[in-house]
Amino acid sequence: MLRIRNHQFIQDSKPFFYFADTCWSAFTNIAESDWNYYLDYRRQQGFNVIQINILKQWDSSGMDLNIYPFAITKDDSGYRFDYSKINVSYFDRAEKMLTAIQQRGMVPALVLLWSNYVPGTWASKLARNNMFTFAELDHYVSYVTKRFKKFNPIYFVSGDTDFPTTETINYYREVLKAAKENDPEALYSFHIKGRFSDVPSEFLEQMDFFSYQSGHNIDGQATAYTIPMSERTKFNGPIVNTEPCYDQISYSRNKYGRFSSHDVRSAAWRSVLSGADAGITYGAHGIWSWHHTGASFGVVAGEGFDVPFDWHDALQFRGATDLSQLKQLILSNFPNGCVPTDIQLNNNEEIRSATNIENNRYFIYLPTNTELDVSPLGLNQNNSEVTIFDLQKHIQLRGRWMASSRIGLSTCLEDVLIVIERKI
C-alpha cells in the first residue's frame, strides 16, 4: 500500500515514483487476452500505475463488448443509465482485471466519477449519458470501494472536472465522503480538467496528493511547469502531472497537428523539474480510448480530437520508453526528490532546472539544444563536472565548457538533459 512522505510516495519504506499509463476505457473496451498482453508490455517498460475510469468513458472509442456498469437504455441521441441497478457482471469483470494488475506488482488508480456524470461541469454539456442521480451516489461509491479496496487502489474522486457550481461541489463532496467511509486507508486526489488548478479549499485540504493535467492544448503547454510552481507554494504533499499531452494525440480545439514524442518528453521533464517530482503519467492516443481501426470515435465537440491510432500501434509509441528513462534518471539521482531552482537560465523560462537536497547535483532540461550559461546557479568549470543525455537517442555524452560558466553545444538534435555534479 502506498503512503505519503513529504513530497513523495512511499511503498514498503522506499521511494515510489508514480509512473502511470493512461487506460481510461479499460473496463468497457478491452478483451481479457488483450488486457494481459497490454499489462505485460507496460510492466516491462517500467510502469507501476494504471489509470482507469471505473465507469464508461464518454469519449472512448467504439467497442463491441456491450458491457456497461448499470442497466442501460439506448437511443439515437445517446444512452440512459438506471443508476439504481448495478450490473454485477461488469464489476466481476473489472475485479478480474484489477487482479491482473495486482499480480504484476502494479497499482490501479481509479476514477470514481468522471465529469460527464456530474451536473454543471464542462463535460455535462457534451455528454450523451444522463447525469448521475445524487441519491444513488452513496450506493454506487460504497459498492465499488468495498469491492476494490483489497487491491489497494489510489482513487481520483473526479475525472477531468471543473467545479463551476455548488451542485457540482456537492456531488464530489458526497463521493469523497462515501469513499473514505469505506476505504479510509486509500490515497485520494482529484483529476481536474486541462490547464486548470482551482480546486475548492475543502478538497485541497483532504487530498493526499495534487493531480493536474497540462493537457492537449498546444497553446497551454507552459502549464506543465507553471502549475506545479504555483501549487508548491500552497500544497505540501506530492504533486503529479497526471495528464500531460498524449503521444500522437491531435492538438485540441480542432487544430491541425499531433503531439510528438519530443513534446511528451518536454511536458514530462518540465513538470518533474518544476515541483511535480512525485511522478509522471504517459498517455498514447489509441490506448486511453482503446481504439480499433475503423471503430467510431466521435470527439468532435469540446476538445475536438482527430482519430486515434489502433491500440496495437499506439502501444509501441516511443514516448513510453522515453518516460521510462526519465523515471530511471530521477530515481537514481534524486531518491529523496528534487527541488526546483526557480532560477531562469538563458533568460528563458522554458529551460527548467532542479537540484537535490544536498545541493550538489543539478538537472537542467533544454527543450531545444543550445549553449547554456550556468553562472546564475553558481556553477562553472572549476567547481563542476558536466554530463549530457541525448533524450532522443538515449545516449550519454561528455559535456564541454566553452567558457568559465558556459556549457557548449552538444551533438544532440532534439532535447537535452544536462547533469551537473558540483565538486566537493
Residues 304-337: tens digit of each pLDDT: 688 999 999 999 999 999 999 999 999 999 999 9
* Chain mean pLDDT for the chain: 96
What is the average per-residue pLDDT within 281-290?
A: 97
pLDDT value at 66 more than 80: yes
Strand partners, 388: 397, 418
Half-sphere exposure of 99 (CA within 13 A, CB side): 8
pLDDT band at 90 (very low <50, low <70, confident <90, very high): very high
According to CATH, where is 3.20.20.80 located in the chain? 2-333
What single string gives the DSSP state of each residue in 76-140? TTEEEEEEEEE-HHHHHHHHHHHHHHHHTT-EEEEEEEEGGGSTTSTGGGT-SBPPPPGGGHHHH
Measured distance CA(279)–CA(20) in Å, rounded: 8
% of the chain with per-residue pLDDT over 90: 91
pLDDT band at 192 (very low <50, low <70, confident <90, very high): very high
Residues 6+ apart with CB under 8 A from 15: 8, 9, 331, 335, 336, 337
Q: How far is CA 55 from CA 206, 228, 380, in A?
A: 23, 29, 54
Half-sphere exposure of 213 (CA within 13 A, CB side): 23
pLDDT band at 75 (very low <50, low <70, confident <90, very high): confident
- Give the pLDDT confidence of 133-160 residue by residue, as tens digits: 999 999 999 999 999 999 999 999 999 9
Give pLDDT, residue 78: 85
What is the average per-residue pLDDT within 47-58?
A: 96
The CATH number that domain 341-422 falls under is 2.60.40
According to CATH, where is 2.60.40 located in the chain? 341-422
Mutual angle of helices 32-44 and 88-103, in 10-degree steps: 30
pLDDT band at 303 (very low <50, low <70, confident <90, very high): low
172: left (phi over 0), alpha (psi -120 to 50) or beta: alpha
Q: How far is CA 276 from CA 25, 253, 272, 414, in A?
A: 26, 26, 5, 23
pLDDT value at 302 more than 80: no
C-alpha cell at 47: 510502469
Q: How far is CA 147 from CA 99, 102, 139, 140, 182, in A?
A: 12, 14, 12, 11, 10
pLDDT band at 381 (very low <50, low <70, confident <90, very high): very high
Give pLDDT, residue 76: 81
C-alpha cell at 72: 442501460
What single string gives the DSSP state of each residue in 5-21? ETTEEEETTEEE-EEEE
Lowest-pLDDT choice from 31-45, 102-116, 228-242, 301-315? 301-315
pLDDT band at 255 (very low <50, low <70, confident <90, very high): confident
- Secondary structure class of 144 (helix, strand, coil): helix
Give pLDDT, residue 337: 92
Which is the CATH superfamily of the domain at 2-333? Glycosidases (3.20.20.80)
